[in-house]
Chain A
Amino acid sequence: MATPSPAQLRELALTEEEYQHAVRQLGRVPNQLELGMLGALWSEHCSYKTSRRLLSQLSSKGPQVVVGPGENAGVVDLGDGLLCCFKIESHNHPSAIEPVQGAATGVGGILRDVFAMGARPVALLDALRFGDLTDAAQRHRFAKVVEGVGHYGNCIGVPTVGGETYFDPAYQGNCLVNAMCVGLVTAPRLLHAVARGVGNPVLLVGADTGRDGIHGATFASVQLDEGAEERRPAVQVGNPFLEKCLMEACLELAGSSALVGLQDCGAAGLTSSCAEMARRGGVGIRLDLDQVARRELGMTPYEVMLSESQERMVLVVERGRVEEVRAVFDRWELRSDVVGEVIAAEELQISSSGEMVARLPLPVLVDGFLPRHPASSRPADVVRDLSAPPVTAGVPWTLEEAWLRLLASPNCADASWIYRQYDHQVGDDTVVLPGRDAAVVRLRGRRDGLAITVDGAHRSSLLDPRRGAQLAVAEAVRNLTCLGARPLALTNCLNFGDPDREEVMWQLEEAVAGLAEACRQLALPVVSGNVSLYNDLSGASIPPTPVVGVVGVVDDVHGIPGPGFVAAGDLIYLVGGEGAGLGGSELQRLLGGRVLGPPPELDLELEGRASEAVRQLVTERVARSAHDCSLGGLAVALAECCVEGSLGAVVRLADPPTPPDRGLGLLFGEGSGRYLLSVEPGSGGRMEEVCSAGQVPCFRVGEVGGELVEIVGLAQIPLAAAAEARLKGIAGAMEGPVL
Chain B
Amino acid sequence: MTWRCGIAVFPGTWSERDCAHWVELAGGEPVMLWHAERQLKGADLVILPGGFAHGDYLRTGAIARFAPLMDAVRDHALAGGPVLGICNGFQILCEAQLLPGALLRNSCLQFRCQSTHLRVEATRGPFLAGLEAGRILEMPISHGEGRYYAPPEQLLELEAHGQVALRYCGPAGELGDEYNPNGSLQHIAGVMNREGNVLGMMPHPERACEPLLGSEDGLHLLRAALALVGAS
Residues on B with beta carbons closer than 8 Å to the beta carbon of A156: 14
- CB nearest neighbor in A for B53: A241
Interface residues of A in 109-151 (CB under 8 A from B): 147, 150-151
Interface residues of A in 236-250 (CB under 8 A from B): 239-242, 244-245
Residues on B with beta carbons closer than 8 Å to the beta carbon of A591: none
Check A241 against B57 for contact (C-beta < 8 Å): yes
* B105 contacts A by Cβ under 8 Å: no
- Report the interface size class on chain B: 20 to 34
Contacts between chains A and B (CB distance < 8 A), count: 80
Interface residues of B in 98-132 (CB under 8 A from A): 110-114
Check A154 against B111 for contact (C-beta < 8 Å): yes
Check A332 against B11 for contact (C-beta < 8 Å): yes
A425 partner, pick from B56, B112, B113, beta carbons under 8 A: B113
- CB nearest neighbor in A for B55: A241
Check A154 against B12 for contact (C-beta < 8 Å): no
- CB nearest neighbor in B for A430: B213
Residues on B with beta carbons closer than 8 Å to the beta carbon of A241: 11-12, 52, 54-57
The digit string for B207-224, where 1 denotes a CB below 8 A from any CB of A, is 101101100000000000
**B132 CB to closest chain A CB, in angstroms?**
27
The digit string for B3-20, where 1 denotes a CB below 8 A from any CB of A, is 000000001101101100
* A652 contacts B by Cβ under 8 Å: no
Residues on B with beta carbons closer than 8 Å to the beta carbon of A423: 111, 113, 142
- Interface centre among B12, B51, B113, by most chain A C-beta atoms within 10 angstroms, is B113
Interface residues of A in 195-222 (CB under 8 A from B): none
Interface residues of A in 328-365 (CB under 8 A from B): 332-333
Q: A147 to B108, alpha carbons, bound, how many Å?
A: 13
Q: A242 to B144, alpha carbons, bound, how many Å?
A: 19
For the residues of B in contact with A, the DSSP-based class is mixed
Check B113 against A244 for contact (C-beta < 8 Å): no
Check B11 against A428 for contact (C-beta < 8 Å): no
Interface residues of A in 549-591 (CB under 8 A from B): 557-558
* B21 contacts A by Cβ under 8 Å: yes
Q: A157 to B16, alpha carbons, bound, how many Å?
A: 10
* B95 contacts A by Cβ under 8 Å: no
* A299 contacts B by Cβ under 8 Å: no
Check B111 against A157 for contact (C-beta < 8 Å): no
* B206 contacts A by Cβ under 8 Å: yes
B207 partner, pick from A419, A421, A422, A428, beta carbons under 8 A: A428
A421 partner, pick from B18, B21, B51, B111, beta carbons under 8 A: B111
| A426-B15 CB under 8 A given contacts A420-B114, A421-B111 | yes
Residues on A with beta carbons closer than 8 Å to the beta carbon of B51: 157
Q: A420 to B141, alpha carbons, bound, how many Å?
A: 10
- CB nearest neighbor in B for A559: B212
Residues on B with beta carbons closer than 8 Å to the beta carbon of A244: 11-12, 14, 52
Residues on B with beta carbons closer than 8 Å to the beta carbon of A150: 111
Q: A154 to B87, alpha carbons, bound, how many Å?
A: 13
- CB nearest neighbor in B for A239: B55
* A427 contacts B by Cβ under 8 Å: yes
**B117 CB to closest chain A CB, in angstroms?**
16
Residues on A with beta carbons closer than 8 Å to the beta carbon of B114: 420
Check B11 against A424 for contact (C-beta < 8 Å): no
Q: A426 to B112, alpha carbons, bound, how many Å?
A: 13
Q: A679 to B43, alpha carbons, bound, how many Å?
A: 51
* A466 contacts B by Cβ under 8 Å: no
The digit string for A635-658, where 1 denotes a CB below 8 A from any CB of B, is 000000000000000000000000
The digit string for A582-609, where 1 denotes a CB below 8 A from any CB of B, is 0000000000000000000000000000
Check A425 against B12 for contact (C-beta < 8 Å): no
* B183 contacts A by Cβ under 8 Å: no
* B28 contacts A by Cβ under 8 Å: no
B140 partner, pick from A147, A242, A425, A431, beta carbons under 8 A: A425
5 residue pairs, one from A and one from B, having the closest CB atoms: A157-B14, A241-B55, A428-B18, A423-B142, A155-B52
Pairs A–B under 8 Å by Cβ, sample size 19: A150-B111, A154-B52, A154-B111, A154-B142, A239-B55, A241-B12, A241-B57, A244-B12, A245-B11, A245-B12, A332-B11, A420-B112, A422-B113, A425-B140, A426-B15, A427-B18, A428-B210, A428-B213, A431-B212
